[in-house]
Amino acid sequence: MASLVYLLGTIVTLLCAILLLRAYGNVRKKLLLWSGLCFVGLTISNAVLCIDLILLPASVDLYMARLGTAAAAMLLLLYGLVFESE
């Protein structure tokens, strides 16, 4: 059951990233671009979570990789909010 929740979380963040980047392609607002890139990073973070908890044995820990990708994604959004807002 937990595996299904992890996979659904990854799919939802991927769909959000696709929708945000597609909206950026139509409207060309910078905030949509940075939000879409943030969700791409969150999708990668969730994918690493799935790999870590579902596929790899318990002796392998990708905790720092998960945190690093999530932090990088949030920094992209923070940059967009601070420097690219109108």
Summarised one tens digit per residue, pLDDT across range 35-54 is: 999 999 999 999 999 999 99
C-alpha to C-alpha distances, 81 to 10, 11, 33, nearest whole angstrom: 24, 25, 11
Nearest residue to 41 via CA among 19, 63, 10, 64: 10
> What is the Cβ-side half-sphere exposure of residue 58, based on CA atoms within 13 angstroms?
0
Query: Tokens 């044995």, residue?
Result: 57
**Domain map of the chain by residue range?**
2-81
Q: pTM here?
A: 0.93
Give the pLDDT confidence score for residue 84 in this predicted structure: 82
- Interatomic CA distance for residues 4 and 26, integer angstroms: 33
- Interatomic CA distance for residues 80 and 77, integer angstroms: 5
